[in-house]
Amino acid sequence: FTFNNNGSGDLVANLSSTGDFVVQDNGTPFVSFLDTGAITFAPTSGQSITNTLAGAGTFTITSGVTTGTTTASAFAGNFNALTTGTGMYLASSTLSSGNLANFVVTGTAAASNTQTVLNISNSGANATATQTTYGMRIANTRTGTTSTNVGLYATATGGTSNYAAIFEAGRIGIGITTPQTGVDVVYNTQDPFAIPDGIDKYAVMLRKTGNTNNSGVGIGFADSSANTVGASIVHVREGLNIVTGK
């Protein structure tokens, strides 16, 4: 093991034979540079690894992995000691018009009908009964005058067939957390015995909109009361929020 200075100001640690370069904390390995080219970090309890990038510095990871999966993936995080905490946390208090995280796939290499940008899976058997678990939870609770919050925005274009969303299995609840049917909608803002006076008063609206005469015909369903459902065939003028018909 030798230290070499090549005359350019760099200090080179040269592992001239088998063996590793190990940095220890009071006798306990903290970081190891293996002669295989791998680098391992093993902080002891209570220690952390912090990398502060000053100015406009970036932290880049480039991997040569081509087919690795799970723990052999190009970037793998194994958090098997985690219980009630958080495995990965990204936060910003200064973000304005940017993105906190971007996942981008480009190129023409799609094959086998399996190319996926983000794959989230929650599986296994619950050791405790009556558990409710989630594959993904999205919340947008920002406040502000005349602001609009969108919890989920999906779009699909460019293909021969385009599907913005597919729900392969399970029920869908809108305004209800325990849907009883395939699509269960609860919207309690309208008297079921009255013709809704605006498009926003319908729980469900099936329509083809337009902003000219003889356009925007649809079928609307308002709230229910006992065995009575408020429903009407309507004419909707797009952008004007006008609903007429019965």
Average pLDDT over residues 173-184: 86
Here the tokens at position 114 are 């399996």
Residues 6 or more apart whose CB falls under 8 angstroms from that of 55 comprise: none
Q: What is the structure's pLDDT at 124?
A: 94
Residues 182, 171 contacting (CB under 8 angstroms): yes
- Scanning the structure block, which residue is given the tokens 């793998």? 76
Q: What is the structure's pLDDT at 139?
A: 96
Q: What is the structure's pLDDT at 232?
A: 53
Q: What is the structure's pLDDT at 246?
A: 45
The Cα diameter of the chain in Å comes to 90
In this predicted structure, the answer to whether residue 69 has a pLDDT above a threshold of 80 is yes
Q: What is the structure's pLDDT at 115?
A: 94
* Global pTM exceeds 0.85: no
Question: What torsion do the CA atoms of 132, 133, 138, 141 make, to the nearest 10 degrees?
Answer: 40
Residues 6 or more apart whose CB falls under 8 angstroms from that of 42 comprise: 28, 29, 30, 31, 32
Enter the DSSP assignment of 89. Answer: -
Here the tokens at position 189 are 């803002």
Q: What is the structure's pLDDT at 181?
A: 86
pLDDT band at 116 (very low <50, low <70, confident <90, very high): very high
- The average confidence (pLDDT) of the chain is 78
Q: What is the structure's pLDDT at 23?
A: 82
Q: What is the pLDDT of residues 139-163, one digit of tens each?
A: 999 999 999 999 999 999 999 999 9
Q: What is the pLDDT of residues 14-47, one digit of tens each?
A: 766 677 888 887 777 788 888 777 788 776 666 6
Could you tell me which residue, 48 or 135, shows the higher pLDDT?
135
Q: What is the pLDDT of residues 93-106, one digit of tens each?
A: 999 999 999 999 99
pLDDT above 90 coverage of the chain, percent: 39
In this predicted structure, the answer to whether residue 192 has a pLDDT above a threshold of 80 is no
**Distance between CA atoms of residues 236 and 208, nearest Å:** 9
Could you tell me which residue, 39 or 179, shows the higher pLDDT?
179
